[in-house]
Amino acid sequence: MIAKTPKPPYYAVIFSTIRTNIDDGYEDTAMRMEELAHQQDGYLGIESARNEIGITVSYWENVEAILNWKNNVEHTFAREKGKAVWYKEYQLRICKVERDYGFEKH
């Protein structure tokens, strides 16, 4: 559930969203986008949670992998529908992960 990412540096895309209350295939598309992201070169993992706000963080080897994913045709259609139908507001942030620390209980 927590993404198993390699040693930094790598990239993170933080996608913070406020939904409308219109479903219209939202869950199916979200699942399809996750499946499709997995198939991209340079994809490292994804984490996602939602209550009042939704936060999805996807992890990537480099900026090129992020741009390729941005330009994926099916993803582009989903993004347009996101603006038109599913999201009231969002913010997308492209970040270079410089350091990380993990903890796991044994």
What are the residues binding its own copies (CB under 8 A)? 1-3, 5, 8, 12, 14, 16-18, 20, 47-55, 57, 83, 87-105
CB of 77 to its own copies, least distance (A): 16
- Show contacts of 98-102: CB within 8 Å, 24+ apart: 98/8, 98/9, 99/8, 100/5, 100/8
Q: Least Å distance between CB 34 and its own copies? A: 14
Min dist CB 70 to its own copies, Å, is 10
Which of 65, 67, 66, 48 minimizes the C-alpha distance to 56?
A: 48
